[in-house]
Structure 1
């Protein structure tokens, strides 16, 4: 093999990158990233498919990837266009022998892969690199992947091993004289840059360097791993959870790097339920991807993998209240305002806002999933749609599950600190009313500097009545 191309997609790193390891066996290599215009078009419900937060994080990640490649005398070629048109053109023009890329398993990505395959045949080679366990190592065939996570986890933990990290061959030559577009700005992508948000739990910056820095900081410098299981449902602060997900989502961080760092931590510092729980969460992430591989397009159906018939609403006015954090239910509103301002929300928050939209409001869960797709720094289709379906009773949990929002708020935001952090108009409301401020009488509202129905909205629905409606669906 004389010349190879590596097509970077959601694998924006040098460490543990099988496509890079294989491509660098050639004499000369061309690293390429393609800005597909379809990634910046509106979703089916009209949201920007890639919003400003995620696009900013992506551009930072690509800038860092290019910088790291240059340290190895390589570079990253950028192109604007459809990959199924751009890649065959590059390969023909520069007489490249083979192309390598990481395999994706959801419809839009598969269609692009098939388009390239049609043009290139066997010149395009796929590798698997997004999960902790390699697809060839799990003890299930595609169609036998269980529809219950615990069954998948127990058998996989017992019968599969996590592979060692892969290294690439250094000192490979770069293919020269290839035209490259400049790295675009947010404005070039028709996106509005967002102001920096000082209230964010973490100043998320894209790129492999930032990912590895966060890993070192969380595990070693701050020694937070040993507490992970007990703090992971927190809402305020940088270290209640690992916050690795944005870097995992675009491949700036390998799940295997996290795994082997956990094993090192267990050897050198402490092995406990929290160190296991970090791996447990990576297996959940694997499960959503392998399940999406099994179920295919059903992942995106309104009826989900259960083919469950239900009469959903698509009320835009009600949806807008949810999306903007103006439902009148502080715990929901605080989480949505955090998402809008930062592109991030805690796992606990995600479950509650999803349950509220799909269960209490009975609004088509795919509207919420698409809204998350637009905003989340850590969006990936398998985890996002898998989790939304799970919390909407059409996914992996067959029960008619829902969250009692006020109970959740009182459990995870006992003093109301999170709500006050994101809803300043409730700043002076005491903890006994912070999650249900509408229960204050007019005198109490005046005393605590809030006017329910004016400075902060009344609840858009009666939660207790909505719970009865949910139960009636069983």
Structure 2
């Protein structure tokens, strides 16, 4: 060790030493020199909240500790990745490919063409011909999940690259001061701790997904660790299977890991998910009538619909929401407020600590039926509060104006008698807003809008194979188009498809 070629192992969103293809190959081929580059774009784009930046910084520190345990260290640099790679005194660069959008995809396409860069793809995504769409994704994903994990090197040579940046200096330069509360700590060790705790209690998983307060405890909360590669989906899958065997809870959770990979495949195939409606019939829908005042009320949690407002405030205050609340807020924004989908999807991506472009944007397009193959399902926030927050625990935590309002009035506080409002010390319309729009009328209007476009959207799907491939779902756990007449109760398969980690 120490006599082979010096290989920079460029970490980006793979903050782990275990099950890391680039690191394993570098240890086999020469002397690994681990490097992380603080890319100014991540800090200046306005698309990442400070809590997510801090999560990344904690993950960097944990990765450095993992390397130091093995005799090496993680070198930190700051600047344009291409320029930094040029400046490294190494023979070549090994890097893991990952699914990215927008700037990240352009950066990777540019840098991965370099002769000194070797790219490794061991993530269950087919990279052979992006956009081809005729591969057997199901078989490929199953192979990925069952294939043996990459072992971490037990000993590594000292890292001889000069460290020229620090986490503290970067946080100072970019003013990273997280305000969100209750955010999980980043890093590989924290990820394993969370995985073990979830696995020990996995029997509580079924039935704890939809209610927002229960979901905080009963879902895995592994999503940020998966998004930043502190764990791989394969590690999670194999650990849960090994420790628990089979059963309903394991099957439900396993399906979510498959859907995680499936949506990554979708974005790998077509980068337009982040900014262009899949079905051209819906491109620009509601853009010309986008009401910024309504969008602002939604972002700030002042719509007059308590469960929507509690969810949007929770997103801003904690950086996390369970799937059902994400879906409800997305459909409310698009169908009920009649706002253009992309600013809403961007707002979620900006505030979510577990933001994953593949899951966030494909789910927004799915929930808003911009594919032309999904039902127009508008979650009724009044019905949802009765079913998923009947005692008002979640609403009262994030909408303190309604804390003393009796349970029976939480779904529609504007209907509470004035005497009740006076007794509770809240006046609807002053202390808490009246509904900014009338839900039932807006829901019906949205259904009419989509009904008018349905034939054209189906025609596109039927006659354009490329768009049909983009809009289609995997065979595994494919959601059924049928549902109850209320339009807001997804089947078990549909819940499993929507990135609820």
Is residue 30 of structure 2 the alignment partner of residue 30 of structure 1? no
User: How many angstroms apart in 1 are the aligned matches of 2:294 and 2:13?
Assistant: 34
CA RMSD of aligned residues (A): 2.4
Aligned equivalent of 1:273, options 235, 248, 273: 248
User: How many angstroms apart in 2 are the aligned matches of 1:435 and 1:28?
Assistant: 62
Structure 1 pair 107–402 and aligned structure 2 pair: CA distance change class (3 A)? same
Kindly state the Cα deviation for residue 306 of structure 1 after the two structures are TM-superposed. Answer: 5.4
Is residue 82 of structure 2 the alignment partner of residue 66 of structure 1? no
Deviations 1:431-465 (A, max 9, x none): 11112101112112112221111111111111111
Matches within 5 A, 1:134-173: 135=126, 142-144=131-133, 162-173=146-157
Contact 1:35 1:80 (8 Å CA) reproduced: yes
Kindly state the Cα deviation for residue 250 of structure 1 after the two structures are TM-superposed. Answer: 0.6
| SS in structure 1 of the partner of residue 212 of structure 2 | coil
Structure 1 pair 96–314 and aligned structure 2 pair: CA distance change class (3 A)? farther
Aligned equivalent of 1:282, options 257, 270, 273: 257
Contact 2:286 2:339 (8 Å CA) reproduced: no
User: How many angstroms apart in 2 are the aligned matches of 1:374 and 1:186?
Assistant: 19
Kindly state the Cα deviation for residue 411 of structure 1 after the two structures are TM-superposed. Answer: 1.2
Contact 1:228 1:241 (8 Å CA) reproduced: yes
Matches within 5 A, 1:217-232: 217-220=197-200, 224-232=201-209
Contact 1:103 1:127 (8 Å CA) reproduced: no
Alignment correspondent of 1:51: 49
Is residue 16 of structure 2 the alignment partner of residue 21 of structure 1? no
Structure 1 pair 15–397 and aligned structure 2 pair: CA distance change class (3 A)? farther
Q: How many residues align?
A: 444
TM-score norm. by structure 2 comes to: 0.83
Is residue 118 of structure 2 the alignment partner of residue 114 of structure 1? no
Contact 2:404 2:424 (8 Å CA) reproduced: yes
Alignment correspondent of 2:226: 248
User: How many angstroms apart in 1 are the aligned matches of 2:71 and 2:429?
Assistant: 61
Structure 1 residues without counterparts, runs of 5 or longer: 43-47
Alignment correspondent of 2:12: 9
Deviations 1:18-56 (A, max 9, x none): 1111122243221111111111224xxxxx211111111
Structure 1 pair 180–126 and aligned structure 2 pair: CA distance change class (3 A)? same
Alignment correspondent of 2:81: 83
Deviations 1:275-333 (A, max 9, x none): 11111001111111111122x23212342355524232433222111111111110001
User: How many angstroms apart in 2 are the aligned matches of 1:428 and 1:233?
Assistant: 24
Alignment correspondent of 2:319: 343
Structure 1 pair 136–400 and aligned structure 2 pair: CA distance change class (3 A)? same
Structure 1 pair 145–180 and aligned structure 2 pair: CA distance change class (3 A)? farther
TM-score norm. by structure 1 comes to: 0.87
Kindly state the Cα deviation for residue 187 of structure 1 after the two structures are TM-superposed. Answer: 4.4
Deviations 1:171-220 (A, max 9, x none): 231341524211146742534523463xx4xx511111110001111112
| SS in structure 2 of the partner of residue 344 of structure 1 | coil
Is residue 246 of structure 2 the alignment partner of residue 257 of structure 1? no
Aligned equivalent of 1:298, options 254, 257, 272: 272
Kindly state the Cα deviation for residue 469 of structure 1 after the two structures are TM-superposed. Answer: 0.9
Contact 1:53 1:377 (8 Å CA) reproduced: yes
Structure 1 pair 264–344 and aligned structure 2 pair: CA distance change class (3 A)? same
Structure 1 pair 107–206 and aligned structure 2 pair: CA distance change class (3 A)? same
User: How many angstroms apart in 1 are the aligned matches of 2:440 and 2:271?
Assistant: 35
Alignment correspondent of 1:367: 343
Farther off after superposition, 258-267 or 95-104: 95-104
User: How many angstroms apart in 2 are the aligned matches of 1:152 and 1:97?
Assistant: 32
Alignment correspondent of 1:128: 121
User: How many angstroms apart in 2 are the aligned matches of 1:185 and 1:409?
Assistant: 45
Contact 2:54 2:176 (8 Å CA) reproduced: no
Kindly state the Cα deviation for residue 98 of structure 1 after the two structures are TM-superposed. Answer: 4.0
Contact 1:13 1:251 (8 Å CA) reproduced: yes
Contact 2:267 2:358 (8 Å CA) reproduced: yes
Contact 1:24 1:168 (8 Å CA) reproduced: no
Kindly state the Cα deviation for residue 395 of structure 1 after the two structures are TM-superposed. Answer: 3.7
| SS in structure 1 of the partner of residue 35 of structure 2 | strand
Kindly state the Cα deviation for residue 157 of structure 1 after the two structures are TM-superposed. Answer: 7.2
Structure 1 pair 209–160 and aligned structure 2 pair: CA distance change class (3 A)? closer
Alignment correspondent of 2:96: 101
Is residue 192 of structure 2 the alignment partner of residue 212 of structure 1? yes
User: How many angstroms apart in 2 are the aligned matches of 1:128 and 1:99?
Assistant: 11
Farther off after superposition, 161-170 or 368-377: 161-170
Matches within 5 A, 1:395-474: 395=371, 397-473=373-449, 474=451
Structure 1 pair 12–348 and aligned structure 2 pair: CA distance change class (3 A)? same
User: How many angstroms apart in 2 are the aligned matches of 1:173 and 1:192?
Assistant: 33
Contact 2:125 2:261 (8 Å CA) reproduced: no
| SS in structure 2 of the partner of residue 126 of structure 1 | strand
